[in-house]
Amino acid sequence: MRYEEDKVDREMERQQVAMADRRMVELARLATRARNGEATVELEGMVSVAMKVMRNGFEGVMKAADCVRLKTLKGLLDLLSPLQSVKFLAATFMVQIKLRERGGRNVTKINCCP
């Protein structure tokens, strides 16, 4: 699991570095100029393609992270007894419910255990 987590971390780092590379910064600068009246169809297309590439890259990282989380959960549930698994999942769901109830409020004060 640790190896897979590290792999996802490295890919996320690579995506973040790519977002701040020289070509992306130059494209952002050109797009800012375009908002000031110098817009071209070519520039809009370049921005659209760049955003699609970035979106696809981050989507891949999120899918990989989901897979690692699922494998971790399955491994944990394999170690627990059926009763422990039910209690663990129930507590996890309660935390999720409480987080959604709280929304944007301070989530550090959640008391999910009676």
Residues 6-64: tens digit of each pLDDT = 999 999 998 888 877 877 877 777 777 776 665 566 677 777 888 888 889 899 999 99
Q: Which residues contact 61 (CB under 8 A, 6 or more apart)?
A: 8, 11, 12, 15
With a threshold of 0.75, does the pTM exceed it?
no
Please report which confidence band the pLDDT of residue 65 belongs to, taking 50, 70 and 90 as the band edges.
very high
DSSP secondary structure letter of residue 34? I
Torsion of CA 21, 22, 28, 34, to 10 degrees: -160
Residue 53 and residue 18: Cα distance in Å, rounded? Answer: 10
pLDDT at 86 over 70: yes
